[in-house]
Amino acid sequence: GDSVTQMEGPVTLSEEAFLTINCTYTATGYPSLFWYVQYPGEGLQLLLKATKADDKGSNKGFEATYRKETTSFHLEKGSVQVSDSAVYFCALSTSEGAQKLVFGQGTRLTINP
Amino acid sequence: EAGVAQSPRYKIIEKRQSVAFWCNPISGHATLYWYQQILGQGPKLLIQFQNNGVVDDSQLPKDRFSAERLKGVDSTLKIQPAKLEDSAVYLCASSLGGGRAGNEQFFGPGTRLTVL
């Protein structure tokens, strides 16, 4: 079945550091790919998405590129801030049928000032 | 625009008791989802409705879990009887539906259930 594997956490960085959170997937067909973020005390929010190969999703300085050849969707940010501390989830949804989201296990990110 | 509403936010029960959660999706959203998020894991889909019909309930433990979406709007998820392993956050989400690629799901704040 469809699955998503994320980089193990937790990840701790200093402010202004470069961030990469790895995400790879297994899916039949051509899924859409997402990064969701959960800030402390808040619900899940969509951070960015890509719906086809080579698409780049971007938002709030975060970027991720849909790489079909490596079945990956790694999240990157050039300079993180304390306010980026949160749990990040990579997810996919199938392009047909029920379009349910299949999530990775999440990566907790802590940014120290 | 109001978001997805859920209640209660927290619930503590003893095993073998029953519990119900309520969800009100964003107005006009045809598709409603219930996810279970166990601590340290990503959310897992329990059931998906399109209007008031079930699209996918393949991972719903039907011997103890039930869900309904009357009139295609609000939904309730029930657990009866609860087990210790049901302790989790129960998330409701909604989307416009329609089968478009990359359809965004909007999540509610969740209900944290603790089974003692």
Q: What is the pLDDT of residues A83-97, one digit of tens each?
A: 999 999 999 987 565
Whether residue A104 has pLDDT greater than 90: yes
Taking only the tens place, the pLDDT of each residue in B12-47 is 999 999 999 999 999 999 999 999 999 989 999 999
The total of other beta-carbon atoms located within 10 Å of residue B7's CB is 14
Check A100 against B45: CB less than 8 A apart. Answer: yes
If one compares A29 and B69, the residue with the highest pLDDT of the two is B69
Query: How many angstroms away from the CA of B46 is the closest CA of chain A?
Result: 10
pLDDT of residue B91: 97
B13 and B78 Cβ atoms separated by less than 8 Å: no
pLDDT of residue A7: 84
Query: How many whole angstroms separate alpha carbon A58 and alpha carbon B16?
Result: 46
Q: How is B69-113 classified by DSSP, letter by letter? A: -GGGS-EEEEESS--GGG-EEEEEEEE--S--TTPPPEE---EEE
- Beta pairing, strands B10-13 & B19-24: unpaired
Query: How many whole angstroms separate alpha carbon B97 and alpha carbon A98?
Result: 9
Contacts of A101 in chain B (CB under 8 A): 33, 35, 43, 45, 93, 105
Question: Could you tell me how many CB contacts below 8 A there are between chain A and chain B?
Answer: 63
Whether residue B6 has pLDDT greater than 80: yes
| Residue A70 pLDDT class (50, 70, 90 cuts) | very high
Whether residue A17 has pLDDT greater than 60: yes
Query: How many whole angstroms separate alpha carbon B66 and alpha carbon A79?
Result: 45
Cβ partners under 8 Å of residue B72, min gap 6: B30, B49, B51, B52
Whether residue A13 has pLDDT greater than 70: yes
Whether residue A3 has pLDDT greater than 90: yes
If one compares B72 and A75, the residue with the highest pLDDT of the two is A75
Percent of chain B with pLDDT strictly greater than 70: 95
- Nearest chain B Cα to A43, which residue? B109
Taking only the tens place, the pLDDT of each residue in A28-63 is 888 999 999 999 888 899 999 998 899 999 999 999
Whether residue B1 has pLDDT greater than 90: no
Check A101 against B43: CB less than 8 A apart. Answer: yes
